[in-house]
Amino acid sequence: MFLEDMFGLKGKVAVVTGGGRGIGQKVAIGLAKAGAEIAILCRSGADETVKLIEDQGGKAYWIATDVTTEESVDNALSEILNRSSSIDILFNNAGICMHQSTLDATVAEFREVIDVNLTGQFIVARAIGKIMIEQGIKGSIINMASMSGSIVNVPQMQASYNASKSAVVHMTKSLAVEWAKHQIRVNSLSPGYVTTPMSIDTPQELKDAWLPLIPMRRFAKPEELLPPVLYLASNAAGYTSGSDVVVDGAYTCL
């Protein structure tokens, strides 16, 4: 009973952006197993995630959403409130990456990465934060950052991605201070290299270069990010806000 009271999410409604595959999918399933009802916001392709949750007795649905557009996000949240009445947890996960030298990248490509990874998180966090404040919900917002927010990855060149994730970490701290008076906790998660569909599509020569740089000599499994998310989402983290939780196999220690 103690663990259920501290880490259980029964009766909670959790919004997961980018929950159609990879980390978002694993986290959505894990939050559902902990008792939360799951609303997935993504552009397409979350049917599998919903089915996996429902097959295990959970409740989930998804809404086609462009997180970079305020109107799309507002419409999606209105639908969630009509179906679920409240929003208690946000896993702000939608993101993209571009491996390209700064001299070759266009300004449009840079803006696309910033729009999804930073502006999109800002739009969703602000909209859900407003709902939590209006409803008096002591909610939890977890923004997806990256170890790339504090180190420069090699050998790939990804200045736009690194800049976006560094900004996410500091935006998280800023929101944590701003919304502390409303008892809304805001934290970020900074993974290292994870075996996701995004990394599977990465050229093998890059993965061969990354592995020796990781002290644990392996990539993380997506499900290994679930425990820190469950902690941050639950009552167990009642006094944790403004933190950046790094899960990187000790990569950033070097």
Cα 174 to chain center, whole Å? Answer: 17
Of the residues 26, 84, 160, 161, only one is catalytic, namely 161
d(CA 156, CA 100): 7
Contact between 186 and 141 under an 8 Å Cβ cutoff? The reply is: yes
Q: What is the DSSP letter of 102?
A: T
Helix (H) or strand (E) run with residue 74 in it: helix 70-84
Of the residues 12, 26, 140, 146, only one is catalytic, namely 146
In the residue annotation, 193 being an active-site residue is answered as no
Packing angle, helices 22-33 and 47-55, rounded to 10: 30
In the residue annotation, 231 being an active-site residue is answered as no
Beta pairing class for 244-247 and 140-144: unpaired
Of the residues 26, 84, 164, 165, only one is catalytic, namely 165
User: Order of strands across the sheet with 185-191?
Assistant: 60-64, 37-42, 13-17, 89-92, 140-144, 185-191, 244-247
In the residue annotation, 161 being an active-site residue is answered as yes
Could you give the residue numbers annotated as active site? 146, 161, 165
